Structure 1
């Protein structure tokens, strides 16, 4: 600081930049000395701060406390809940609506039906349809679609279409539950389910189980490892029950269908719409592997609770022999 003061003393008075009014009142040597020190602080302290910023940095401790790795859940076994009590609970959702035909078939009924079939196929919302008559080229008289009544009304209004009255329209019910509940969202990597609604399915019975391993869903048949990537119908949802187990539930009714890890059964071979984006996310998150459409599995215990007579298979009566 003494060297800086000597440097200031050597400067001409006009370079000290004293404020004129202050300088007029600054007559004593003490006053001028104070202004010299003020000048030194204003000029050289910023330079000292700049040099301090250029000094070598201390040790980097940014990795001393790395962010914890996200942990995903696993559930490969689970006891069956009280399905008798669960089946007695009220149903959350309703049933699908139907618009009955209100007019006879017009002369251009086939062209009208073909147009609506094409529209629904483009939207990936056609679940099925029925033709009038017994020939394969008859006009469409019934359409079963993967849209709710409200979704269909909004779609028609948006495009300013006229709904033909000679066709019977069938709608899917509203879903009352989300695909993955808030309680289960942080536990899984990807929810592997269709985005479009489910149509008519084959009903051959398959047995096995669906498990959750490190945030991924796998399915296996009875007596075989669960090593196939599971894919669900859009009406299936994931939730955590009051006991803390991950459950599969019906998104329409809200009812519990199975706990992950229980013995299950499902109808099949099941079919479903697998969109490319979700399938790619599934393969990236859970590793490459076969994707198996398990559809809408149900716990075997739940099924047997509804049909208790199936617990003990009935044997044919023994034929009594008579002596002659």
Structure 2
């Protein structure tokens, strides 16, 4: 297995509903006990399926494309924003100096047209008028200061961390709210909160949940051919981006990293195993049904992903024999990534 800089690539459209498979999946050899082995596989014609990303474009071109305007207009907007930013910092300094109990901060917004927005707890329009009448500066009602949000979030973050579901949290740049990410679905969280009598989170905290995946971890059409499949019981909000690459193969019903007899493969909650539209055993995005890579091809993934959950690792070892278990997260086709980002050229 080789370490490399990582770029994650979702690359295929959602897979159509497939008819039941008759006999073994394509490319699989079936052993005496009925389990599949796939050590190598025929690849899809990725070059026909994937549009390469465009080369590098400058910030002005990127801004124009993102906002549906010409490059000339983008250049003019960006210049005007830079000029106004110096005045915005002056207003920001005055607000912090003479209205610290009311003024929260400012940010740049781009829609429907660009403007600097200044946030106050009380009387925003009148409060801003004390400092400026610049036509590109507007006032808005704010909520909490950053310090107030810190006080609100701390006990909830500690509670979620103790329960093993804290994915992380962020503060808005001017203290409007805190996004607290929990590594369970909304339904799972509601059950946990009711059991523990947590009550409702206070105003100022916005909870974000992992998706409630529509697809099972194991497609019933594939289940007879594999001994075990394990993914993490909670979701993944924070993903480290060092990269690894290796084949992921199926060895007598057991998914392994690198080759026959390699470490057992363990995945993110978002990953399942099923069939692609050509009938090959593939890793599947459980949210969309899109194939991520065919089992038996070279894959790449982000990491490190931490230790596998102990019970899941134990189930893999019970089914497939003792040995290391590698948390490979959400692998995708390396070939598809190389084509999309021009690494094949």
TM-score normalised by the chain length of structure 1: 0.60
SS at match of 1:162: coil
SS at match of 2:288: coil
Instruction: Tell me the equivalent position of 2:76.
Output: none
SS at match of 1:310: coil
Are positions 1:141 and 2:200 aligned together? no
Contiguous gaps of at least 5 residues in structure 2: 1-31, 52-140
CA distance in 1, matches of 2:50, 2:210: 22
Instruction: Tell me the equivalent position of 1:77.
Output: 40
Are the counterparts in 2 of residues 87 and 255 from structure 1 also a CA contact under 8 Å? no
**1:104 CA displacement:** 1.8
SS at match of 1:163: coil
Give the 3 Å change call, closer, same or farther, for CA 277–187 of structure 1 in structure 2: same
SS at match of 1:237: strand
Match of 1:265 among 283, 300, 304: 300
Contiguous gaps of at least 5 residues in structure 1: 1-68, 89-100, 313-324
Are the counterparts in 2 of residues 245 and 259 from structure 1 also a CA contact under 8 Å? yes
**1:119 CA displacement:** 2.8
TM-score normalised by the chain length of structure 2: 0.56
**1:156 CA displacement:** 4.4
Instruction: Tell me the equivalent position of 1:127.
Output: 167
Are positions 1:311 and 2:344 aligned together? yes
Give the 3 Å change call, closer, same or farther, for CA 82–165 of structure 1 in structure 2: farther
Give the 3 Å change call, closer, same or farther, for CA 231–163 of structure 1 in structure 2: same
Instruction: Tell me the equivalent position of 2:61.
Output: none
Are positions 1:206 and 2:244 aligned together? yes
The structure number with the bigger radius of gyration is 1
Give the 3 Å change call, closer, same or farther, for CA 161–102 of structure 1 in structure 2: farther
Match of 1:180 among 218, 226, 230: 218
> Aligned runs of 1:103-252 on 2, under 5 Å?
103-104=143-144, 110=150, 112-130=152-170, 141-153=178-190, 155-156=192-193, 159=197, 161-220=199-258, 227-252=262-287
Are the counterparts in 2 of residues 86 and 255 from structure 1 also a CA contact under 8 Å? no
1:275-315 per-position Cα deviation (integer Å, ceiling 9, x unaligned):
322221211221111111111111112213433x3221xxx
**1:236 CA displacement:** 0.6
Relative CO higher for 1 or 2, CA cutoff 8 Å, sep ≥ 6?
2
Name the Cα RMSD after superposition: 3.4
**1:167 CA displacement:** 2.0
User: Which aligned runs of 4 or more in structure 1 are off by greater than 6 angstroms?
Assistant: 84-88
